[in-house]
Amino acid sequence: MSVGSDVSTALPAVPPEPDMVQLLTPEGVRVEHPDYPLDIPDDEIKALYRDLVLVRRIDTEAIALQRQGELGLWASCLGQEGAQVGAGRALRKQDMSFPTYREHGVAWCQNVDPLVLLGMFRGTNLGGWNPADNNFNLYTIVIGAQTLHAAGYAMGVVRDGAVGTGDPERDTAVLAFFGDGASSQGDVNESFVWAAADNLPIVYFCQNNQWAISAPVTTQSRVPISRRSSGFGFPGVRIDGNDVLASLAVTRKALDQARGGQGPTLIEAFTYRMNPHTTSDDPTRYRLAAETETWKLRDPIERVRAYLAREVGVEHSFFEAIDRESEAMAEHVRAGCRALPDPEPLSAFDHVHAEMTDELREQRDAFAAYLASFEEASA
């Protein structure tokens, strides 16, 4: 390189993108992939369709609740339902998942009541659920931190002898979610190091939704994120993240390999964040509406509906029934959200420690007395 050469010309062009694994085209045509055969009955595809519609309805309702002042914030997963539902449905009941704060579709697949997710966005708690209840960890807001928790959990799985036994009820994998922005975080890269060094039973599922708030993915990476894993020593694969079948098939295979003791895989689900980063964000400042319009044509739900209607001949009544169910779900979310109880002021002290300290008890008691003094005054 000559001294003083222009940096932009000195950089080689980004290598051509690898082909994405796709099993269902945006037009709803089923296609095969040699590495990822998916023998899936139509009823299962219908069930996936139901998942997708309900997840979107939950998401839409949550945005409405934010607009009505019932939620302080919501991080929408619009456009990413296919990636999330496919990955979520690939999990077995003993597998553990580690979400970011946008994996509402995975939560759905793990049977987490959407109302459980609303607490932190309404401000009634900070999450508040037990990961063991649904093998779905707490939402993690610090970007990428959960990928290390996932690696550690996988280390525990190995130590428990729950890998490679051949017992489908016992062998356990871990599914760690993160985004394109998180791929720049040290924690994510450290997690890769751990997973490779210990051949951990972990699958990394990166939803590359093209935007980290206002920063395009090119801010994070010169190469497809799926290629990041090769330097760490494990395979990476890029999938059409708006194709629920590709997500299901590729995640299923990767999880099988992880459970079998064949180590980690990185999946990059190439998708798009159709909505603002959160309800507080204004994407008109950094991206063109035309881009969003283009991605609308790749909608993860429309293609499944088209396939079911055209190729399978599913009757209209099926879709109508799901629409009715999703309206009932919306009502559940709406009414449930408003009924979420505000926390008592003193509850902030309850779970700071497993064993409360004397000094914190003293603070709490003093605050309680202070609060009580108002009640006495008004009585």
Partner 1 sequence: MSPIMLAKALNEGLRRSLEDDPKVIIMGEDVGKLGGVFRVTDGLQKDFGEARVFDTPLAESGIIGTAVGLAIRGYRPVCEIQFDGFVYPGFDQIVSQVAKMHNRSNGQLKMPITIRIPYGGGIGAVEHHSESPEAYFAHTAGLKVVTCSNPSDAYWMIQQAIKSDDPVIFFEPKRRYWVKGEVADEPDPLHRARIARPGRDATVVAYGPMVATALESATAAEKDGHDLEVIDLRSISPIDTATVVESVKRTGRLVIVHEASVSHGVGAELAARVQEKAFYSLEAPVLRVGGFDTPYPASRLEEEWLPNVDRILDAVDRSLEY
State how far the Cα of 83 lies from the Cα of 90, in Å rounded to an integer. Answer: 11
Strand partners for 207: 179, 269
Residue 336 Cβ, how far from partner 1 at the closest point, in Å?
17
Cβ nearer to partner 1, comparing 131 with 260: 131
218 versus 363: smaller Cβ distance to partner 1: 363
Nearest approach, Cβ of residue 355 and partner 1 (Å): 6
Of residues 130 through 159, those in contact with partner 1 by CB under 8 A are 130-132, 137-138, 140, 142, 145, 147-157, 159
Residue type (1 letter), 250: V
Is 117 or 148 the residue whose CB approaches partner 1 more closely? 148
Strands (E), the chain: 96-98, 174-179, 202-208, 211-212, 215-216, 236-240, 265-270
- 163: contact with partner 1 by CB under 8 A: no
For the chain, what's the residue count? 379
- 169 is an interface residue for partner 1 by CB under 8 A: no
Q: Please state, in angstroms and rounded to a whole number, the distance separating the CA atoms of residues 350 and 369.
A: 16
CB atoms < 10 A from the CB of 296, how many?
Answer: 13
Asked if 102 touches partner 1 (CB under 8 A), the answer is no
Q: Is 350 in the site for partner 1 (CB under 8 A)?
A: yes
- For residue 216, the SS3 value is strand
Q: What mask, x for binding partner 1 by CB under 8 A, covers residues 170 to 209?
A: ----------------xx--xx-xx--x------------
Distance set, CA 133 to CA 63, 195, 370, 376 (Å): 26, 25, 37, 42
Tell me how far apart the alpha carbons of residues 307 and 173 are, in angstroms, rounded to a whole number. 31
CB of 297 to partner 1, least distance (A): 39
Backbone angles phi, psi at 268, to 5 degrees: -105, 115
Interface with partner 1 includes 340 (CB under 8 A)? no
Give the residue, chosen from 160, 169, 331, 365, that forms a contact with partner 1 under the rule CB under 8 A: 160
User: Minimum CB separation from partner 1 for residue 144, in Å?
Assistant: 9
Residue 96 CB, shortest distance to partner 1, in Å, is 8
In angstroms, the Cα distances linking 196 to 265, 267, 339 are 9, 15, 46
236 - beta bridge partners?
Answer: 266
Kindly indicate which of the ranges 9-17, 289-297, 348-356, 366-374 contains the residues binding partner 1, using the contact rule CB under 8 A: 348-356
Closer by beta carbon to partner 1, 126 or else 372: 126
Per-residue contact track with partner 1, 18 to 57, x per CB under 8 A? Answer: ----------------------------------------
Cβ atoms of 127 and 138 within 8 Å: the answer is: yes
Beta bridge partners of 261: none
Minimum Å gap between C-beta 354 and partner 1 is 4
Under rule CB under 8 A, which residues in 257-276 are in contact with partner 1?
none
CB of 194 to partner 1, least distance (A): 6
Q: Which is nearer to partner 1, 80 or 97 (CB)?
A: 97
Burial 170-193 (b: 16+ CB within 10 A, else e): ebbbbbbbbbbbbbbbebbbebbe
Tokens representing residue 142 in the block: 């610090």
Binding test (CB under 8 A) with partner 1, winner from 353, 374, 377, 378: 353
Is the Cβ–Cβ distance between 115 and 333 less than 8 Å?
Answer: yes
From the CB of 224, what's the least distance to partner 1, in Å?
24
Give the nearer residue to partner 1 in terms of CB position, either 81 or 187: 187
As measured in angstroms, the least distance from the Cβ of 153 to partner 1 is: 4
C-alpha pair distances (Å), 37 with each of 95, 237, 325: 22, 15, 32
Size of the site for partner 1 (CB under 8 A): 44
Catalog residues that contact partner 1 under the rule CB under 8 A.
96, 125-132, 137-138, 140, 142, 145, 147-157, 159-160, 186-187, 190-191, 193-194, 197, 350-355, 357-360
